[in-house]
Amino acid sequence: MILRTALLLSALAVPLSPALAAEAQQRACAQSPGKVLEVCVEVRDGRATYEVSRRGRQVLAPATLGLGFAGEAPVRYTGLSDVRTGTTDATWEQPWGEQRQIRDNHAELGLTLNGDTALNRRVGVTFRIFDEGIGLRYDYKDIPAGQKVAVVSDGTQFRPLGQYTAWWYPALGQERDEYLYTSSDARRITTAETPLTLERDDGLYVSFHEAALVDWPSMLLAGDGAGTLSARLMPWPDGTLAWKTGPFSTPWRTVLITDSIGTLADSRIELNLNEPNTLGDVSWFKPGKYIGVWWEMHLKRTTWASGAQHGATTANVERYMDFAAKYGFDGVLVEGWNKGWDGDWTVEGDKFSFTQAYPDFDMDAIAAYGRKRGVRLIGHHETGGAVENYARQMDAAFDLYKAHDVGVVKTGYVRHSGNIVDADGGLQWFAGQYMVRHDLAVVEAAAKRHIAIDTHEPVKDTGLRRTYPNWISREGARGQEYNAWGDPTNPPEHMTILPFTRLLGGPMDFTPGIFDITRGGIELTRRVQSTLAVQLAEYVVVYSPVQMAADLPENYEKNPAAFQFIRDVPTDWEVTRTLQGKIGDYVVVARQQRGGKDWYLGAITDENARKLPQKLDFLAPGHRYEAQIYADGPGADYRTKPDALTITRKVVTAKDSLDLDLAPGGGAAIRFRALD
């Protein structure tokens, strides 16, 4: 719902003198609403470039623009025309999210690049310029309707000026985006996934990503060893980057530019660059928390496959539903219920049935049991990367789930990237145009049945949850399961990097909440590398509208005091504020419950202990709160004493501050319960 809108896009009204017209048409500039950022586009010597300045100082040096098409020579641009500018200031509401009200305040610079090839003769380029970043996209409106074209090159570059540290991992690995980040001089980047975040030596942050990735391959960034980053798109098997039918527009390429770590983490540019909700009323989806027949299989106590150790049995699922009903959880995820898990399903995904259950799983009985207990089954569609097999069964599979009151489905695509077989036998990357199309087709099919989708092994999040609010969460990073069998498991710094990299893209189903950290004394690098307080803090730091309590039910019942925080913490928020942080070192996030007065805070540090003074000025002034503090206990250390936890209470106001005393690999989780 648009609450207020200022001046929309308008044409330049200032006339140009004939003597200046030719020169002026080679360059056009516009500033953000607060005059923080300025974008200038220029055509010179056959090249079209853009540059970005912040407060009068150039941040991105002139970098090239444009696409190349099969059958055409590289384009030479001869000028720019149709320059238009305008501003928008609007506020809209998310049906669910990390922040209810989103302000969209930007300036717009639109223009046409005039080229010397048929398909690039007139290329629309639009920049939306916010105070904390920009978005740019191409519009090929002059390609005739129905004409099919092949995109074979993307000339978009990014040229950050200065000395930067980057947090990244090499792209196109076989495990998709499930890698640990490394930090290095940005000039050492080979090819990186986005969001790609850099920090300049003077504290300026620059982060590159995309918005509204629809019917287009995912963009990677390739470094040249000197600091320039060039767009690299995941190709089709024949090397074509994208197949399009005219006319068309590309996704937005985004750049966040800010000297505030909080502004970086809390920017909503990506959401603002997506189209509004196309589904209408989505009140049928309710954010919530769930448990599941999941962690026990990662620990090898039960199996996905059928047999004596099968985890997805009617009796076991009903046991989980009893636990969920007792402690206020909305749903129970069940993996391994359907035929196809026997054998090596990661290479034989075409054997999966999405409508036929194993004999010891009675979906009718389970759904009926859940209705009596007030708990819904959360569905699971693991494809093993056999996309065509899933696509053939998808409608019937969603119909089955709808008939059993399943409102959320977790999908999975566990197959090495570059080995996803398409309908023609070609081998696809996990986020090329083929998979981008497939993922959205799944979301649209689910929406017709009022089912929400949580995608694992996904195409990266680019804010499409605004347009399709049933696309509620994704994985897309090294998640909790690596703490069951990873070698090594996730180190403490991992959770202090994600908020400023992967989580800039959107919600992540990380599956937090492991209480049995030591697992009988297993070595450090084969178990969770955190304190218990971190496992609680993750519910605040890592945003998702569906959050899992991932551990075994019996481990929660052994520690009801700590479990209380998981029971209390919401998954839908009125306001989110990243209060402080340093990438790879620590992070502190506070969120206010949607429609309520309570606030929650999560703090996480890396392997180093640290004391962080934290003002409470985010609380409502003039009101009192009971701070329920779940903190690292005496001697807590993720290496030697991860279970040490203290729970204290004190009355605070917005005028107070707290010292967050974080142990090595530790954290803190706080509920601020409103008292008046």
Q: Catalytic positions, please? A: 481
In the chain the first and final C-alpha atoms are separated, in Å, by 31
Q: How many Å apart are CA 92 and CA 111, to the nearest integer?
A: 27
Q: At what angle do helices 433-448 and 387-403 cross, to 10 degrees?
A: 10
Q: How many Å apart are CA 39 and CA 77, to the nearest integer?
A: 19
Strand partners, 244: 149
Give the residue ranges of DSSP H helices in 356-412.
363-373, 387-403
CA dihedral 415, 419, 421, 422 (to 10 degrees): 110
The helix/strand/coil state of 478 is: coil
Total Cβ atoms within 10 A of residue 100: 18
- Phi, psi dihedrals of residue 544, rounded to the nearest 5°: -155, 140
323 in the Ramachandran plot: left (φ > 0), alpha (ψ -120 to 50) or beta?
Answer: alpha
Joined tokens for residue 249: 């527009």
Alpha carbon 223 to chain centroid, angstroms: 23
The helix/strand/coil state of 407 is: coil
- Phi, psi dihedrals of residue 566, rounded to the nearest 5°: -65, -40
The helix/strand/coil state of 566 is: helix
Asked if 593 and 599 touch (Cβ cutoff 8 Å), the reply is yes
Alpha carbon 420 to chain centroid, angstroms: 22
Strand partners, 168: 182
Total Cβ atoms within 10 A of residue 652: 18
Q: How many Å apart are CA 386 and CA 109, to the nearest integer?
A: 43
Residue (of 354, 359, 368, 366) closest to 409 by Cα position: 354
Q: How many Å apart are CA 582 and CA 580, to the nearest integer?
A: 7
Kindly provide the residue ranges of all beta strands, DSSP E only, lying in 306-407, ordered along the sequence: 331-334, 376-382
* Cα 349–Cα 212–Cα 473 angle in degrees, nearest 5: 50
Sign of torsion over alpha carbons 501, 504, 506, 507: positive
Q: How many Å apart are CA 509 and CA 538, to the nearest integer?
A: 11
Q: How many Å apart are CA 204 and CA 162, to the nearest integer?
A: 10
Q: How many Å apart are CA 446 and CA 352, to the nearest integer?
A: 19
Asked if 64 and 49 touch (Cβ cutoff 8 Å), the reply is yes
SS (H, E, C) 252-275: EEEEEEECCHHHHHHCCHHHHCCC
Among all chains, which residue has been given the structure tokens 């083929």? Answer: 434
